[in-house]
Amino acid sequence: MAGNSFGQLFRITTFGESHGEAIGVIIDGCPAQLDVDLDYIQGELDKRKPGQSKITTQRKESDTVKILSGVFEGKTTGTPIAMLIPNEDQRSKDYTHNVDVFRPSHADYTYQTKYGIRDHRGGGRSSARETAARVAAGALAKLLLKTQGIEIVAHVSSVGRINSPNITITTADEFIAEREKNIVRCADPATAEEMIAYIDSIRKQGDTVGGKVSCHIINCPVGLGEPVFDKLHADLGKAMLSINAVHGFEYGSGFAGSEMRGSEHNDIFLPKSDESGVKTITNFSGGIQGGISNGMPIEFKVAFKPVATIMHAQATIDSKGNAAEISGKGRHDPCVVPRAVPIVEAMAALVLADHWLRNRNSILPK
């Protein structure tokens, strides 16, 4: 109810502040007998961790995850899985300047007003550090989905006004391999180079820039998504919008679809020639019809605003409402999207795992 849980059957609850002792997550509802590949989970966290490259924050944290419960002899047991990620690099003094001053376009003012108290160190609970717990839980969800052949892949499709061309995905592994060849995590090498140069110049100006992440879900079976409120894209949308800095979500034809006509937008079914399931000529539906997956690739896009912490002096107010000035200190990302890719994938995996479990009761078994 207080908003720190997500999912219905595959349900996670996260905890922890950026400069407290640790952050973590409990996963309740993972079926028993899933093989838990801890290296895979750590690998996902490594894609999100700070200090990866010159275009991310230079803060250093290993983000090493530890499983406290729910796994026995390498397998899930059906009991809650607790994962802990200790906070290592807690330069709290970087944040003494914002005890009494509200940083513009941050959550300082709203947390302080809502709760009358806040852990001001590094954003506390509102810090994007919380998303490490999501990535850890999402990695487990991915392992669950992989047993069913479902794969989730995302990449950076835009940085500022630089846009990647559409990528044809052959296999998930190949797509990821291509994407991981560059530090901006764009699957198109030429665009990636351009993006990196641009972010680097933005960084040198002490400024930040926004971007977009595109996500594809491959081999999703037909039937996932629960009408009428828990439509698959509605839950994907909520999942994405709950990520720090996200300001927009669209799937399939998205915003562009609102400018189209029905006669061009309708996805025409192809006659089935074999048992491989139904296909449509176009995929403006983004793999989801009536809120339920239709077997085509699920496709959506997530828009991130520019990081609010910039290295310039900005006018602001203090906790009494008086004029003040603030300037970013510490080590921050000039652009959030390269590190957001594993977060988008993780949140998508959590939605899919949940809906896959939910859909198992759609029809009365014989």
Interacting positions 264-283 with a second copy (CB under 8 A): 265-272, 278, 280
Reference 136, options 211, 205, 209, 66; nearest CA is 66
Q: How far is the CB of 170 from a second copy (least distance, A)?
A: 26
**Whole-angstrom Cα distance, residue 329 to residue 313?**
10
Is residue 267 within 8 Å of residue 288, measured between CB atoms? no
Q: Mark 10-39 with x for binding to a second copy (rule: CB under 8 A) and - for no binding.
A: -x-xxxxx--xxxxx-x-xx-xxxx-----
Nearest to a second copy of 192, 303 (CB atom) = 303
Task: By CB under 8 A, tell whether 250 contacts a second copy.
Answer: yes
Q: How far is the CB of 19 from a second copy (least distance, A)?
A: 10
Reference 50, options 307, 242, 285; nearest CA is 307
**Whole-angstrom Cα distance, residue 347 to residue 345?**
6
Sheet with 11-15, edge to edge strand ranges: 5-6, 11-15, 22-28, 81-86, 66-67
Among the listed ranges 42-50, 188-196, 239-247, 338-346, the one in contact with a second copy (CB under 8 A) is: 239-247
Q: How far is the CB of 116 from a second copy (least distance, A)?
A: 5
- Restricted to residues 100-159, the positions that interact with a second copy (CB under 8 A) are 102, 104-107, 109-111, 113-119, 124-126, 130, 144, 147, 158
Total length of the chain: 366
Q: How far is the CB of 165 from a second copy (least distance, A)?
A: 17
Helix (H, G, I), strand (E, B) or coil at 113: helix
Task: By CB under 8 A, tell whether 235 contacts a second copy.
Answer: yes
- Restricted to residues 279-308, the positions that interact with a second copy (CB under 8 A) are 280, 284-286, 289-294, 303-308
Q: Mark 158-187 with x for binding to a second copy (rule: CB under 8 A) and - for no binding.
A: x-xx--------------------------
Helix (H, G, I), strand (E, B) or coil at 299: strand
**Whole-angstrom Cα distance, residue 347 to residue 134?**
7
